[in-house]
Structure 1
Amino acid sequence: MLKLKQFNLSEAVNMKTVYLVRHGQTLLNHFNKMQGWVDSPLTELGQQQAATTGNKLANVAFSYAASSDLGRAMDTLDIILAQQTQPTPIPERLLDLREAYFGSFEGLDSKLTWNMIGGPQGFRHQPDLVERYGILKIRDFMNAADSFHEAETGEQLAQRINQALIHLSNSLEDGQAAIVVSHGTYIRTLATLLTPGQPVMPQPNNGSITRLDVTDPNNAQIIKYNE
């Protein structure tokens, strides 16, 4: 868990807060396969992770709920909302919250994929590639290595994230909170973009919570990361 910002009481009362959750573990997570826009169901562990997160947030009043339009995110959100002790909003399903798109690498072995992508740059492992070039540039490397050149570029992913932040902010009034479910690479990229100096942020855990202040979507800030 990384705590990134302190707020005074007046800020907290008027803040538009997003509780951004990574979906629970899926079959492809379990088998260490590339999972972007391709989908797979939650494992039993993934369902438990979603329920645990739901219990943590059971007493938080949510005025808005959304997930990506992929099944693993929708199922995680439904499990979380089922734990709520208060009336829940009808969830919105947003393409802008989808995981990064991995093109022709979708469903392949993750280790092999990153060997293929990093090889031309002199790296065999994703962490080394990220450390050297940053979280957005490796999206461009994936696009270049994709034989169909359909994998999402860093600019394309950053644009989707920015659009999502604006939408989430516009969906809340001051002092309201949202529950939102998205994906690991998406959340990690978002956190990196919102962190001064853009350090290499760790991959968020399945079921983890990242809290955001989206009062000003053009200056959104992380309150806590990967709780």
Structure 2
Amino acid sequence: MQKIYLVRHGQSEWNYQRKVQGQQDILLTELGKIQAKKLGSRLKNEEIDLIYSSDLKRAYETATIIGNELDKKVNKLECFREIAFGKWEGKTIEYLNETSEKEHDIWLRQPHKFNMEGAETLYQLQKRAMLGVNKVIDENPNKNILIVSHGATLKTIILGLLDIDIKYYNKLTLGNVSLSIVEFRDYNRVLKLLNDTNHLREE
């Protein structure tokens, strides 16, 4: 049974500072590197054949750390980048609440209706992400594939793989270095695991 493993990158410097990242190329924190190594250790028990990653540093570094644990190389793809947030990138959540209250409220409550100049919509994000996912799946039949990406991107991928309407986007949450798994069963695609971070628990 083919499985798609979906991993959000470890804690980045802007995650820590509560800034909107979008497609800005931000590095992992030291904690983020530790988180990635813990997940890599956990994934040794899985039969992962291939690793793909966003080309942004916080995701690629997470994927590389995991790849070192699994002795697998990482394939970078631009299509797995985070959503482009335009003028919001680099701004804190507090700043958005003060300066873009209406747009930010739409993003939080009805993100599928979010349409800000200079930013991607969820539909645009999902289209490019799913083109990448479907290409990877078609090129690697019956292979277990790990994709390391970003919160918004991964949520649109999960919904796309399960054929669930994008309007349910804000019903999902994905923490840093969380693991989600979609299984390709004979009769259906099934969400086997969502937003699991048990590997971060102290031993």
| Fold-level similarity (TM above 0.5) | yes
C-alpha displacement of 1:201: 2.6
What is the alpha-carbon distance in structure 2 between the residues aligned to residue 208 and residue 195 of structure 1? 21
- The structure-2 alpha-carbon separation of the partners of 1:40 and 1:112, relative to structure 1 and needing over 3 Å to count, comes to same
What is the alpha-carbon distance in structure 1 between the residues aligned to residue 185 and residue 55 of structure 2? 24
In structure 1, the residue matched to 2:112 is 136
In structure 1, the residue matched to 2:200 is none
Q: Pick the aligned partner of 2:133 from 155, 165, 178.
A: 165
In structure 2, the residue matched to 1:3 is none
In structure 1, the residue matched to 2:57 is 71
| Letter matched to residue 166 of structure 1 | N
Q: Pick the aligned partner of 2:26 from 27, 37, 40.
A: 40
What is the alpha-carbon distance in structure 2 between the residues aligned to residue 202 and residue 49 of structure 1? 21
Q: For the pair shown, which has the larger CA radius of gyration, 1 or 2?
A: 1
Say if 1:50 and 1:76, in contact at 8 Å, map to a contact too.
Answer: yes
Q: Secondary structure at the match of 1:136?
A: helix
Say if 1:37 and 1:102, in contact at 8 Å, map to a contact too.
Answer: yes
TM-score by length of 1: 0.75
- The structure-2 alpha-carbon separation of the partners of 1:192 and 1:110, relative to structure 1 and needing over 3 Å to count, comes to farther
Say if 1:16 and 1:169, in contact at 8 Å, map to a contact too.
Answer: no
C-alpha displacement of 1:196: 4.1
What is the alpha-carbon distance in structure 2 between the residues aligned to residue 66 and residue 190 of structure 1? 14
TM-score by length of 2: 0.83
| Letter matched to residue 16 of structure 1 | Q
Q: Which runs of 5+ in 1 are unaligned?
A: 1-14, 144-148
What is the alpha-carbon distance in structure 2 between the residues aligned to residue 49 and residue 195 of structure 1? 30
User: How many residue pairs end up in the alignment?
Assistant: 192
Say if 1:74 and 1:181, in contact at 8 Å, map to a contact too.
Answer: yes
In structure 2, the residue matched to 1:209 is 179
What is the alpha-carbon distance in structure 1 between the residues aligned to residue 20 and residue 89 of structure 2? 5
Q: Which runs of 5+ in 2 are unaligned?
A: 197-203
Q: Once the two structures are aligned, what percentage of the paired residues are identical?
A: 30
Say if 1:188 and 1:201, in contact at 8 Å, map to a contact too.
Answer: no
Say if 1:115 and 1:125, in contact at 8 Å, map to a contact too.
Answer: no
| Letter matched to residue 150 of structure 2 | H
Say if 2:14 and 2:21, in contact at 8 Å, map to a contact too.
Answer: yes
In structure 1, the residue matched to 2:156 is 189
Say if 1:185 and 1:203, in contact at 8 Å, map to a contact too.
Answer: no
